[in-house]
Amino acid sequence: MSRIENKNIRRIYRNQSEAVVNALWEIFTGGGYADKVIERTLKADARRGSGDRAFIADTVYGVVRYRRLLEELCGIKNISTPRDVWQMVGVYILREGGSLPPWEEFQVIDIDVVERRYDSVKNIRAIRESIPDWIDEVGVSELPDVWDDEIAALNRQAQVILRANTLKTTREALKRELEKEGILSREVENLPNALELVERKNVWATKAFADGMFEVQDASSQRVAALLAPQPGMRVVDACAGAGGKTLHLASLMENKGSIIAMDIYPRKLEELKRRARRAGISNVTTRVIEGSKTIKRMAGTADRLLLDVPCSGMGILRRNPDAKWKLRPEFIDEITATQYHILSTYSKILKAGGRMVYATCSILPRENARQVERFLKENSDFRLIEQYPIYASVDGYDGFYMALLEKNK
């Protein structure tokens, strides 16, 4: 059997399967991003029930995740017709433990041939785990002791993790509210505000979400703001805020007191952050667009706490972004590491003497993580490392991450 998990897929229907194939065709031949394509596909027909929606999303992500392996099992060199995609979908469903209806598109599948092909490639990690050769080479080079287990873990479907918004509720109260809406969850060990869904559900349609009682945020991501440990009344800067997931967590830890300046180069992301902050009942966040080096220079020496959740390769979150491995290029990692170090060395000047900052990425590659911090400390003697954490999906069961807590000397 393959490394694809057996979920015993239920009976499938024509309209569901057509939606899956159309979505995959757009992703594979049109360059579409899986999450956006799935979102559009699900919105296109509001009549679909929760089971239909789950089948479409899970199957699209599953085929994207195992694209290289499925092409190998189907004998496909280049996806050139929708029939290629139908065949890949059929093989994926079979290897997940499902059964296929007697449709013409599935008639070309010979399961004996599929299994013989699998036996011939199952010991080739890059094919078995369905990744480009160059990513496998990078993983072996940078993470020789954990790579085999790690890339397998990054091919497993990500859990849905919630963070209770403590400005409005508690984890226990949120758990009860979700149960009223038919959503069961369990507490995540060592994370005081985290809940993991027992079964994937559309939590964005709940009253609890509309009321701002929680955010969807992976367990590893929730550790970042906690490591920074901001206190009520402090001046905190989230310098790469994006749409604000960690900004909102910082605000809750600060009990909505003090001030948070959330910064980014993309105004549309900051607009989304403001919308989310309103729903969460947060009032101590202001946004600021980074328009150049002057924006950073004006803020020198002003922050008690600084979060640098820098852009990265995303190599730690392939579980939830499986198409990233097909879009990522070797040269991008070189470019992004240069960007990361520029941000670390330049934005760190925002911190006051005696202040603390967290440098974080959602990557597992040492060149983006510990090596960046090591270089920074060699070139900046006024900082010291307090602690650092590489997080691996194969060890912790959640997204791969890295975070380092540094302090500026008084």
Strand order in 259-264's β-sheet?
285-289, 259-264, 235-238, 303-309, 351-361, 401-408, 383-391
- Ordered DSSP codes for 287-298: EEE--SHHHHHT
From the centroid of its chain, how far is CA 409?
34
The answer to whether the CB of 89 falls within 8 A of the CB of 21 is yes
| Residues marked as catalytic | 362
Residues whose CB falls within 8 Å of the CB of residue 392, separated by 6 or more in sequence, listed in order: 146, 150, 153, 364, 400
Beta bridge partners of 384: 407
* Interaxial angle between packed helices 67-74 and 82-95, expressed in degrees from 0 to 180 and rounded to the nearest 10: 100
Tell me 49's DSSP state: -
Task: Tell me the Cα Rg of the chain.
Answer: 23
Helix 219-228 vs helix 245-253: crossing angle, to nearest 10: 50
Residues 270 and 288: their CA atoms lie apart, in Å, by 8
401 vs 150: CA distance, rounded Å: 12
CA-CA distance, 238 to 171, in Å (whole number)?
Answer: 25
Is the distance from CB of 32 to CB of 89 less than 8 angstroms? no
CA 262 to chain centroid, in Å, comes to 20
Q: What are the helix (H) ranges across 14-155?
A: 14-30, 34-43, 50-65, 67-74, 82-95, 111-121, 125-128, 133-142, 147-153
With residue 253 as reference, give the H or E element that holds it.
helix 245-253
CA 150 to chain centre: 15
User: 195 is written with which tokens?
Assistant: 């809940």
Q: Which residue has the tokens 């909102």?
A: 248
Cβ atoms 185, 195 nearer than 8 A: yes
